[in-house]
Each structure stands twice: as structure tokens, then as C-alpha cells.
């Protein structure tokens, strides 16, 4: 499947963009979602989302959110932006109304501000009823070439954000019990091996074991998902930072490996989750699947809060946006697998990875009468 760094789609209208959004995000936005898009020099730099404000929300609070988002866009050196709100007018309009003044302050041009309600879309920027009628325009993905290009390219848009995030949800039921038992066997096995090789430094033994386990796991993707005992053994060895680094060296730059790390993240016992989910997050970020990367990091925070990655500082904007680069993991760290020690004070928001910087959307499209 093509990744977001190589695909080129001819997006020439708001309708094209709206059809492309689910494929670029990986899921169809729900009512109550807002999708924000930043462009730099006619290239899509970043796409992510927030929730819409509840009706009756204080306009000051809404402006605070918009200011934070556009400040982040300014850090990316974005030159233009768009926002798409999904839901009723009373949900979307207060957010759209707050954007123009703040965009002007930051020097970012607005391509368009759109609302999608049901199967119709509306522009807040276009006032020409011949171009943008008050009743909106029908959005029909089935007749749009972008949908065909995305499907042929192997892109999948899941029905909603929750199903997208469920790709890192922990397994349950009999599968969880089986992995718990396999993990007990893996711990016993490691104890026996370390006892046998007690004259050799523990780090050396575990690193060698980890190298073999990684090589075996990556050798043949047709074997995925790995058998329980093999999966539990690899997850246990990955708790050693040296093995984690070896795994990332082998896996970085191989988008097909994300499937393995997603599966192992789901199957890992809570106290062993950290490094496995960290590799999963790095792999997702590398492919521009930032929502998935953050979901993997959230698993660490929830299930293994003592792990160093769980203590990475967050900022207020991190709580607002779906696809924000986590402080402490810069694009370079994502490529090398090196982790920044947890900071003692909050770290400024960092730009997202470069994989979001060159996608099929070649410019901030607007309706024909505004070009």
C-alpha cells in the first residue's frame, strides 16, 4: 500500500477534500468532530481533529482552543488552513465564527471553513448562492474519483474513530487468559536461561536472546499473528531497552511491520506493555498515523503508568487535538528509536512528523467562485 509520503491525489474542490479526509485520517469523522488541516506552500502539512464545542459554550473558551490550534499551525510555518465541522449548525458555527479573526492575527490564510451535516456540506466563507446554496451541496463519495484512487491505493477508512483506536485495545476473554499463561511460561523460561548463563552479563544474554526473537518474528509476516508463546517471549524481552532499540533499528522504515506491533500491543500484559507500545507508537508516527500513535501511548499511560513513556509531559493543546506530536519524541527520535528522558517541566508542543507533509492534497482548495 502507498503511504502518505508518496501518494498524489488531484484534489481540486471542497467535495474532493471531504471525500479524501476519511482515507487520510484512517476513519470517518463522527458528528461532533472537527477536522483541522494545515498547508504550507500548497502542500498538506498536517491533518487532525478536535471535538466540537457543546452548544452554549462560552465564546472565550472556543477562541482559546482556536488560538492554540492556529498557534501550532504557525509553529509548522503553515501558510493556509481549512476546518471541517461535522454536525448541526449550532455545533459547528460557533467554532467556525472564531477562526477568521485569529487566523488574521497569525497571518494564516483560510482556504475554507466547511460544515458537513448528513450528506450535505456548507461553506462559511462563500457567500455566492449560485456557488454555495443556502441548502448546501450534496456530497456523493460514490461518484468521486478520489474514493476510487484511495481504494485502489489500499487505503481503508474505518467507520469511526473508536474503531480506529480499537486497533490498540487490549485483547479480552479467552485470548487474554491464553496470553497471561504464555507470559508466565516466558518468565520462567527467561529465569532458567539466565541461571544457565549466570557467568555471562545479564544484558548480553538478554540482548542476544532479543536479537534472535526479533529476527524470527520479522522473518515471515505470513506467520503473524505470532503464536502465544513466541509473542509472550518477544514482549518480555522487549522490556529490556537494548532489545527495544534493536527492534526499532530493524523495524524503522518498514511500514508493513506496524501490523506486528499493533498485535503485540494488544496482547501484552499490562506490566510489560511499555516498550512494545512505544515501538508501535513510533511505527504509527513514522507513517503519519498520529491518532494511532497517540492511542498506543495512551495505553501505556493507562496500563503501565510507571513506564518512562507514561511520564512524557503533555500540554493543554495535547488534550484538544487528536493528532499532535507528543513532546519528548521529535521526528528524529522517531526515526532512530531513541527516547528523550522524561522532562521535569512541560515541553513546548513539537511539530508533527514529516510524513504528514506531502500528501495528495496539493493546496487549500476553495469553491470555484473564490479562487
Q: What is the pLDDT along the chain (371 residues), one digit of tens a residue?
A: 334 444 567 778 899 999 999 988 888 999 999 999 999 887 888 888 888 999 899 999 999 999 999 998 998 899 999 999 999 999 999 999 999 999 999 999 999 999 999 999 999 999 888 888 999 999 988 888 888 888 887 788 899 888 888 999 999 999 999 999 999 999 999 999 999 999 999 999 999 999 999 999 999 999 999 999 999 999 999 999 999 999 999 998 898 999 999 999 999 999 999 999 999 999 988 887 877 888 898 899 889 888 887 765 233 233 333 333 323 323 332 223 333 222 222 222 222 333 333 344 445 666 656 66
Report the pLDDT value the prediction gives residue 364, as an integer from 0 to 100: 60
- Please give the Cα distance from 110 to 312 (Å, whole number): 33
Mutual angle of helices 258-267 and 290-303, in 10-degree steps: 20
Phi, psi dihedrals of residue 66, rounded to the nearest 5°: -65, -40
Phi, psi dihedrals of residue 21, rounded to the nearest 5°: -50, -50
Q: In the numeric block, which cell numbers belong to residue 152?
A: 485502489
Report the pLDDT value the prediction gives residue 320, as an integer from 0 to 100: 35
Chain centroid offset of residue 236 CA? 26
Which residues contact residue 323 at a Cβ distance below 8 angstroms, ignoring those fewer than 6 apart? Answer: 46, 47, 48, 49, 290, 291, 294, 352, 356
B/e letters for 297-324, b = 16+ CB within 10 Å, e = fewer, are bebbeebbeebbbbbbebbebbebbbbb
Report the pLDDT value the prediction gives residue 176, as an integer from 0 to 100: 97
Residue pair 354/331 in contact by the 8 Å Cβ criterion: yes
Q: In the numeric block, which cell numbers belong to residue 303?
A: 496500563
**Which residues partner with 85 through β-bridges?**
34, 115
Question: How, if at all, do strands 109-117 and 80-86 pair?
Answer: parallel
Residue pair 202/194 in contact by the 8 Å Cβ criterion: yes
Which residues contact residue 59 at a Cβ distance below 8 angstroms, ignoring those fewer than 6 apart? Answer: 94, 98
Closest CA to 311 of 283, 341, 334: 341
Closest CA to 158 of 328, 23, 329, 53: 23
- Please give the Cα distance from 133 to 78 (Å, whole number): 30
pLDDT digits (tens, 9 = 90+) for 239-276: 999 999 999 999 988 989 999 999 999 999 999 999 99
Question: Cα 254–294–96 angle (5° rounding)?
Answer: 120
Output the DSSP codes for 8-41. Answer: -----SHHHHHHHHHHHHTBPPPTTEEEEEEEET
Report the pLDDT value the prediction gives residue 286, as an integer from 0 to 100: 85
Which residues contact residue 28 at a Cβ distance below 8 angstroms, ignoring those fewer than 6 apart? Answer: 22, 157, 158, 159, 160
Output the DSSP codes for 130-149. Answer: TTS-TT-EE--GGG-HHHHH
3-state secondary structure of 350: strand
What's the pTM? 0.69
Residue pair 15/144 in contact by the 8 Å Cβ criterion: yes
**Which residues partner with 325 through β-bridges?**
350
Amino acid at each position: 500500500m502507498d503511504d502518505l509520503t508518496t501518494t498524489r491525489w488531484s484534489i481540486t474542490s471542497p467535495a474532493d477534500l471531504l471525500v479524501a479526509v476519511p482515507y487520510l485520517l484512517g476513519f470517518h469523522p463522527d458528528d461532533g468532530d472537527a477536522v483541522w488541516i494545515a498547508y504550507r506552500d500548497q502542500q498538506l502539512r498536517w491533518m487532525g481533529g478536535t471535538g466540537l464545542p457543546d452548544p452554549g459554550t462560552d465564546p472565550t473558551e472556543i477562541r482559546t482552543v482556536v488560538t492554540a490550534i492556529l498557534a501550532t499551525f504557525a509553529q509548522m510555518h503553515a501558510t493556509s488552513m481549512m476546518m471541517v465541522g461535522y454536525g448541526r449548525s449550532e455545533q459547528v458555527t460557533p467554532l467556525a465564527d472564531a477562526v477568521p479573526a485569529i487566523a488574521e492575527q497569525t497571518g494564516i490564510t483560510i482556504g475554507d471553513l466547511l460544515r458537513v451535516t448528513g450528506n450535505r456540506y456548507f461553506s462559511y466563507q462563500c457567500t455566492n448562492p449560485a456557488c454555495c446554496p443556502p441548502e448546501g451541496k450534496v456530497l456523493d463519495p460514490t461518484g468521486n474519483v478520489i474514493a476510487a484512487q484511495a481504494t485502489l491505493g489500499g487505503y481503508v477508512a474505518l467507520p469511526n474513530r473508536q474503531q480506529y483506536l480499537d486497533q490498540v485495545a487490549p485483547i479480552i476473554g479467552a485470548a487474554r487468559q491464553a496470553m497471561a499463561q504464555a507470559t508466565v511460561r516466558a518468565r520462567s523460561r527467561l529465569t532458567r536461561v539466565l541461571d544457565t548463563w549466570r557467568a555471562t552479563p545479564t544484558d548480553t544474554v538478554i540482548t542476544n536472546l532479543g536479537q534472535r526473537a526479533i529476527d524470527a518474528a520479522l522473518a515471515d509476516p505470513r506467520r503473524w499473528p505470532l503464536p502465544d508463546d513466541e509473542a509472550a517471549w518477544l514482549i518480555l524481552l522487549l522490556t529490556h531497552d537494548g532489545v527495544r532499540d534493536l527492534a526499532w533499528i530493524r523495524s524503522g522504515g518498514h511500514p508493513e511491520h506496524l501490523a506486528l506491533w499493533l498485535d503485540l500491543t494488544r496482547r501484552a500484559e499490562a506490566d510489560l506493555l511499555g516498550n512494545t507500545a512505544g515501538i508501535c507508537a513510533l511505527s504509527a508516527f513514522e507513517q503519519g498515523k498520529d491518532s494511532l500513535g497517540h492511542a498506543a501511548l495512551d495505553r501505556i499511560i493507562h496500563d503501565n503508568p510507571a513506564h518512562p513513556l507514561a511520564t512524557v509531559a503533555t500540554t493543554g493543546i495535547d488534550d484538544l487535538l487528536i493528532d499532535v506530536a507528543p513532546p519528548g519524541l521529535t521526528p528524529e527520535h522517531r526515526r532512530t528509536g531513541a527516547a528523550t528522558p522524561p522532562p521535569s517541566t512541560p515541553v513546548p508542543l513539537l511539530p508533527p512528523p514529516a510524513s504528514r507533509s506531502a500528501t495528495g492534497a496539493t493546496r487549500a482548495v476553495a469553491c470555484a467562485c473564490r479562487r
